[in-house]
Amino acid sequence: MDKRHVARRLADRYVAMGNVSAVVLGGSLGRGRGDEVSDVELDIDWQRQPSDAQRKAPASALKGDVTSLWPYDADDGEWSEDVRVLGVDVTVSGFAADEVDRWIASLAAPRDLYLVRQMRMSAIQEGEVFSTAKRGSQTGAAPEPTRAVWRWSPLPVS
């Protein structure tokens, strides 16, 4: 089965839970340069801290398996799991949406050499956005688009 199709189906299952503000396909597939040996990387922006059950549910909904489920890594600000769905292995990296927003805002002063943030910003810039939720839609407030609308231009090297 086509890896991008599997990634989109998995992304749809995350979004259906209602605690996700964005899903981005990263890596070479997200940049449109994937091939038969490319891995599948999904970034999930969680609106609130996910439970283990929420992290497992999307793969289960597709009759897949969670092969690894790591606890929250405070240093990287990440929940991660590996899943196998529809015959495809997927690496899932989850982040608090508010934290991702802070990372994006911090790029106004691009001196941050933290590798995890650089990888996330690359996924945002070059990845394929599968889904975004509008913030405030549950409260009746005016919705604001999440990271999908953000684009970054690198500063010239002097």
> What CA dihedral angle connects 29, 44, 14 and 52, to 10 degrees?
130
Query: Could you tell me if residue 24 is inside a domain?
Result: yes
Q: What is the pLDDT of residue 154?
A: 38
CATH number at residue 115: 3.30.460.10
pLDDT at 102: 78
The answer to whether position 71 is within a domain reads yes
pLDDT at position 28, please?
86
Is residue 133, in this structure, part of any structural domain at all?
A: yes
What DSSP letter does each residue of 69-117 carry, written as one string? EEEEETTTTEEEEEEEETTEEEEEEEEEHHHHHHHHHHTTS-----HHH
Residue 154 counted as domain residue:
no
**What does the pLDDT read at residue 41?**
93
Give the structural domain span for 137: 3-149
108-118 pLDDT, tens digit per residue, is 555 656 666 66
pLDDT digits (tens, 9 = 90+) for 132-152: 664 433 433 333 333 333 333
User: Low-confidence residues of the chain, pLDDT below 70?
Assistant: 106-127, 131-158
Domain count, the chain: 1
